[in-house]
Structure formats: structure tokens, C-alpha cells
Structure 1
Amino acid sequence: MEKITRTGVDLAKNLIQLHGVDSMERVVVRKAISRQKFLEWFANLEPCLVAMEACSAAHYWGRKLRALGHEVRLIAPQLAAPYRKGGKHVKNDRLDAEAICEAAGRPHMRFVAVKTADQQNVLLLHRIRNGSVEERTALVNRLRGELVEFGVFLPQGIDAFRAHFIESLEDGTTELNGVARTALERGWEHLEALDQQIAWCDAQVAMHVKHDSNAQRVMAVIGIGPLTASAAVSTVGDARVFKNGRQFAAWLGTVPKQASSGGKTRLGRITKQGNTYLRTLLFQGARSAVMAAQRRTDRLSRWIVGLQARVGWYRTLVAVANKHARILWAILAKGERFDPSYVPTRAAPPTGP
């Protein structure tokens, strides 16, 4: 068998498809192997480039393959899909593995950095917390909706719900019977358990920020707290893989879509591509920064106040989130510290012949 120089891998739970080519781009191997024999097969293979889609378990397999001496590249699924024969109308594991292998050989392809185990451990906390928050919101809406069926109308907001729920439940004038009251009480106990789960996750995230110097420097940015700082450090990892702050902002999806042609630039809404969780946290931080800008006198806050007067609240939020993304890149990639009064210096144009 010819030496394999590049292998495309289509990951799955049990059966993994491989597509390998040699230095002349000739197909050397095209086969499916079980998950149990995946690492064994690569252990007997000379080091080569291994490409996989950035999907479930991809970072785990990437770390294992790197330990065997292989070069691992993860590709976003939307970047590999155009190389699949048959396009979106024809799809199977063999074609997916071939498309991944082909995409990895393109000279200007963009890749996803393989996350470390420490990064994924912290991100697990964020995912558990975020899921608990979503479950708590659904539970509060469910309990409020059930009470409406008996003429009990509670005000909006989770704090107001907590303040009035028990009182409404103990109201003897409602049509609730004993079984219904017990069911609602069990829902209240579930709500308290979710509150404890979220509080525990917050404490663990705060502990991570306390022992991470990068996260502490990120927290200095106006509007960014422990949750965003921890998520940014754990999600990004090595920010030096991005060429500049704009590239990082584009990766997060905070830059406008383009529909430009014929020399005419047409910009639309932000792309919303990239990590939804981190982008959401950045927008929440931007909201806090805009609200606090009226009380501050630093250069960044004055810029926010002036921008809001010109373009309004919502566009200012987008602009501040984009600026925060670029600031995060400078902090994480260059080791800089945030200075709200920082004035960028531009090199003077050359003069003379």
C-alpha cells in the first residue's frame, strides 16, 4: 500500500469512515472501521495529516491522534460540505469522508483549533449551567401557565414569581385541590434544586477565573464578568491562531454579512456564525457597558455615548459587542491589559522619495 499522506475521517458513534490519499492525491484507502479499532489502525500508520469535522468527540479523538504523532486538523462542517460529490442532494459517510479529505488539502482552508482537556472541563460547567438556566425558565413558565388555568395570575419575571408563588399556592379561595397543590409544590422543589445547581456552577466558574491570569485580565473589560471571562478563555484557547481582532470578531459572528458586487459594498445584519454561547454573553456584556457609559468619563465610554446618540440603542449594542471581541483578542493573543482610555497610535506615512 502506498504511503498515506492525508486522511479524511467521518466520525460516528460506532462505525467510522476513512478516506486516505497519497502524495499524488490518489486514493489509497477507503474503508469503515469500528470505534474500538480506530486508534489501533492509526497507531500502525506512519504519521500523516488527519482531518475531521469539528463535531461531537472530535476534540477527544484529535488529542488521541496527536499523541500518536499525527497532525490533526478540524474543519467546520459548513466548510467541508461544498466538496461533497453530489452536493446537498447526495450524502453518505463515504462521500463525507472524501469531502473532508479534499477540503483539508485546500491551501487556504480555515481550521478549528483542537481544545485541550482542561478547556473542555471548564466548558462542561458552562453547558451544565446554561442547560439548567433554560430548564428553570421553562419550569417557571410552566408553573405560571398552570396557575392561570385556575385564575391565578402572577407577574412576569422570575424574582416576582418567587415572591408570589407560595402565597398564591396557599390561597384557599382558588379551585386547586390537594393533588394539584402537591404537584405544584414538587415543581417548586425542582425550581429550588435548579437554583442550587446554577449557584454551584457559578461558584466553580468563579474559582476557575480566580486561578486563571488570562481570565482575570479579560474581566477588566467594562461589562465583562466572571462568566464571560471564563467562557472566552476556555472557548478560544490560543487566540494567536487568529491573525487580528477583526478575524476573531468574524469567527464569533459579530461582523455584518456582505452582499457586495460590482465594486459596491452592501452590508447587512451580523452573520451570527460561530459560538452562539460566547456571542450571547458578549452582547449581554455590551448591554451592561452601554448602560454604564452614561456614568463614566473614559474615552471608550464617551465613544459609546456618542455612538448611541447617532445610531440608537440596538446598533450600539452590536458595535460594542464587536469592539469587545477585538479587545478580547488583543488581551488573549498579545497579553495586553485593558485600558478604557487607550488611544491607538498610527504610523506616520513615509515622506520623500
Structure 2
Amino acid sequence: MKIVRIGLDLAKIIFEVHGVDAQDKVILKKTLRRDAVTQFFADLPPCIVGMEACSGSHYWAKVFEELGHEVRLISPQFVTPYVKSNKNDRNDAEAICEAIGRPSMRFVPAKSAEQLEIQAVHRIRQRLVSDRTRLVNQIRGLLTEHSLVIARDISKIRCALSQIADGDHMLGAMLVELVRDVRKELIELDQRIAAYTKRIRNLFQVNEMCQRIGKIEGIGPITATALVAAVGDRTCFRNGRQFAAWLGLVPKQRSSGGKSRLIGISKRGDRYLRTLLIHGARAVLRKARGKTDARSLWIERMRDRRHPNVVAVALANKNARIVWAVLSGRTEYQPAFTD
């Protein structure tokens, strides 16, 4: 019997394989070590291979596609309902095989090596920004214990640390020494973040796709490169609304009994991308007052009746749809046709 669909549970060393035929009859259950996976799939006739979208899945997707297989990556949250009885690697492989066979299932677009490299730059920069935030919050808390309250603005903390290091405050010698160490660490983090930001801007300059979506108001080099790195096969989204829903920028539903009830945004998908789009929208809101173009007038009408946070999310949603239109149609952004 011919295998038509395989569920593969990924791991570091031990992989579980579950295969079925056209009638969904189980004809393969196998445990493989990592070094035997490639040869095993090379010996199989072309079939559908399903995996959870996790660390290493995009690498294996590329390997299996080169061997002639059709690869389907699925979000782990969509696999969980299909796990029978206890959770283990073999049951996970069976659940993956079952889930990828559903006709209405949604899949994760596979990423190219270039996209993964861009994403790696963003991930490291994001981690450095988080480290800086933790460092600033820690020193603010420690200084508050000595009745020195500093505003949350990071420029304020830089100024305060410089003053303390120069001896402008009546603090103990040990605390002053600690502040000098923290100030040095903060400077190093600022320099590393600036270096990664420059690297992202260089990636933006040489990527034609990033250049196109970077023309949209509220989307700069960081957001543009992050979107291009995250969105692999744009054909996975039928329209702009589906893309915005994938980013978590559409209302969440709690509907029943024929009554539609919409609450806050779903917040699904990549939080980093959603945050960048919303922050970019906030920047557009600040500059929209007094302008007479169609987009600014739409923003002002929205702001008259809704909270600024709602307007920012609405604009981020609109920008996400425009991004999909530009990327899927490979056309240039034309502001006159977007409002």
C-alpha cells in the first residue's frame, strides 16, 4: 500500500513517524534517529509530510521538499485536539498525521534560509532590548529604595546615572560604584542595539520587497524586514483580512445563539510583529492632525468617536492589509487607492 500522508514528530535525536494510506489506514509506525531521517524519506515515494512548526521545522521542510515531498507545517495548538489518550512522541506523530489531513486546516508558511537569517537578527536585537529594559527597571527600583525616584523615560535614567557616577548625589560609596557598573553595562547594550539596528537598515536597503512595503506610512525598516522575514509563502493567505487575523489584529469573537459579540483583538500570531505595527500606527496618529489627505481625515474621523488605542489598532490592521496587497500583487504602494 502506498503512503499518502506522514506525521513526523520532530526532536533533537529521536523522531517518530506515523504514516497512513489513501483510506487513512495506518501502515507505518517507526522510530528514527536523526542521522537516519533524510535517507528514510529519500527512499519513500513522494507524499505529504506534516510537522509541527517548531525549532528545526523549516530546515526539515527544505530537506523534504528537495526530496520531492509536499510539506505542511502546522501550529502546535491545532495538533493538541487530535492527541489521543496520553501525550507522548508516538501519539503526537499520529495527531499530526490526522490534523494535516483536515480539509479546513490552516498551515504555517515555510521560510527560506534568507528569511531565517533576517529573523535571527531581529530575535537577537529583541533580546538585547529586553535585557536593557530589565537593567533599567532594576536600577530604578534599587535607587527608589534610597529615595531617588527616576522617570520611566530611558533618557532620564541615562542622565541620572551620569550624575550619580560623577558624585552629584549623596549616596553611599558602594551604591555609587554599582551605578557606575550599571552605567557601563547600559552603554554597552546601547552600542550593541545600535549595531543590530544598523544591520537591519542595511538589510532593508538591499531587499526590494522591504523597500516596497517600507513606503507605507507607519512601516519603517525594522517593521518591513520583520514582516518579510515572517511571511514566507504569501499564497497561504487568501486576502488581507486573513493576513491581519494571522497577526492577531482582528476582533475576537464570543458569539452564540445567533448573537454576534466582538471583544478585543485576538492577539494571535507573532506578538513582536503585532507590536511593531501598532507602534508604527501610533507614530502616524501623532502626525495626522492638521493634514488633509484621505488617510489623515479617516484617522481624525475615527479619533472623534473611538479611543486612540482603538484607532491605532485599526490603522495597524489597515497597514497589514496593504502589506498583503503589496506583497501578493508585487505592486507598488499607491496611497491614493488605500483610503
In structure 2, the partner of 1:348 is none
Q: Deviations over 1:73-105 (max 9, x none)?
A: 10011112111113xxx3111111101000111
2 CA distance for matches of 1:184 and 1:45? Answer: 62
2 CA distance for matches of 1:238 and 1:74? Answer: 12
In structure 1, the partner of 2:113 is 117
Q: Which moved more, 1:112-121 or 1:252-261?
A: 252-261
SS at the partner of 1:341?
helix
User: With structure 1 as the length reference, what TM-score do the two structures score?
Assistant: 0.91
Q: Retained in 1: the 8 A contact 2:49–2:71?
A: yes
Which of 133, 139, 143 aligns to 2:135? It is 139
Alignment of 1:265-344 (within 5 A): 265-342=260-337
Q: CA deviation at 1:339?
A: 2.8
Pair 295,60 (structure 1): closer, same or farther in 2 beyond 3 Å:
farther
In structure 1, the partner of 2:123 is 127
Pair 343,99 (structure 1): closer, same or farther in 2 beyond 3 Å:
closer
1 CA distance for matches of 2:179 and 2:36? Answer: 50
SS at the partner of 2:241?
helix
Q: Extract unaligned runs of 5+ from structure 1.
A: 345-353
2 CA distance for matches of 1:68 and 1:173? Answer: 68
Q: CA deviation at 1:147?
A: 2.5
Q: Deviations over 1:223-245 (max 9, x none)?
A: 11110011111111332321111
Residue 50 (structure 1) aligned with residue 49 (structure 2): yes
Q: Which moved more, 1:291-300 or 1:96-105?
A: 291-300
Stretches of 4+ aligned residues off by more than 6 angstroms: none
| Equivalent residue pairs, number | 339
Q: Retained in 2: the 8 A contact 1:20–1:27?
A: yes
**2:92 maps to amino acid:** D
Which of 89, 95, 114 aligns to 2:91? It is 95
In structure 2, the partner of 1:80 is 79
- State percent identity of aligned pairs: 45
SS at the partner of 2:17?
strand
Q: CA deviation at 1:128?
A: 0.5
Q: Deviations over 1:298-342 (max 9, x none)?
A: 101100110110112121112111111111111111123223332
1 CA distance for matches of 2:305 and 2:4? Answer: 55
Q: Deviations over 1:82-131 (max 9, x none)?
A: 11113xxx311111110100011111211111100000000000000110
Q: Deviations over 1:197-237 (max 9, x none)?
A: 11111111111111112211111111111100111111113
**2:261 maps to amino acid:** R
**1:244 maps to amino acid:** N
Q: Which moved more, 1:296-305 or 1:130-139?
A: 296-305
2 CA distance for matches of 1:151 and 1:261? Answer: 53
Pair 310,154 (structure 1): closer, same or farther in 2 beyond 3 Å:
closer
Pair 172,288 (structure 1): closer, same or farther in 2 beyond 3 Å:
closer
2 CA distance for matches of 1:300 and 1:107? Answer: 39
In structure 1, the partner of 2:201 is 206
Q: Retained in 2: the 8 A contact 1:154–1:165?
A: no
2 CA distance for matches of 1:148 and 1:168? Answer: 13
In structure 2, the partner of 1:257 is 252
In structure 2, the partner of 1:350 is none
Q: CA RMSD in A?
A: 1.7
Q: Retained in 2: the 8 A contact 1:5–1:20?
A: yes
Q: Retained in 2: the 8 A contact 1:238–1:333?
A: no
**1:23 maps to amino acid:** A
**1:41 maps to amino acid:** F
2 CA distance for matches of 1:269 and 1:333? Answer: 28
Pair 321,262 (structure 1): closer, same or farther in 2 beyond 3 Å:
same
2 CA distance for matches of 1:9 and 1:272? Answer: 28
Q: CA deviation at 1:294?
A: 0.8
In structure 1, the partner of 2:40 is 41
Q: Retained in 1: the 8 A contact 2:227–2:273?
A: yes
User: With structure 2 as the length reference, what TM-score do the two structures score?
Assistant: 0.95
2 CA distance for matches of 1:263 and 1:173? Answer: 65
Q: CA deviation at 1:175?
A: 4.0
Q: CA deviation at 1:176?
A: 2.1
Q: CA deviation at 1:268?
A: 1.2
1 CA distance for matches of 2:292 and 2:334? Answer: 13
Residue 230 (structure 1) aligned with residue 196 (structure 2): no
2 CA distance for matches of 1:144 and 1:260? Answer: 45
Q: Extract unaligned runs of 5+ from structure 2.
A: none
Q: Deviations over 1:166-191 (max 9, x none)?
A: 2113327634225x443332222221
In structure 2, the partner of 1:106 is 102
In structure 2, the partner of 1:60 is 59
Q: Retained in 1: the 8 A contact 2:248–2:274?
A: yes
Pair 149,264 (structure 1): closer, same or farther in 2 beyond 3 Å:
closer
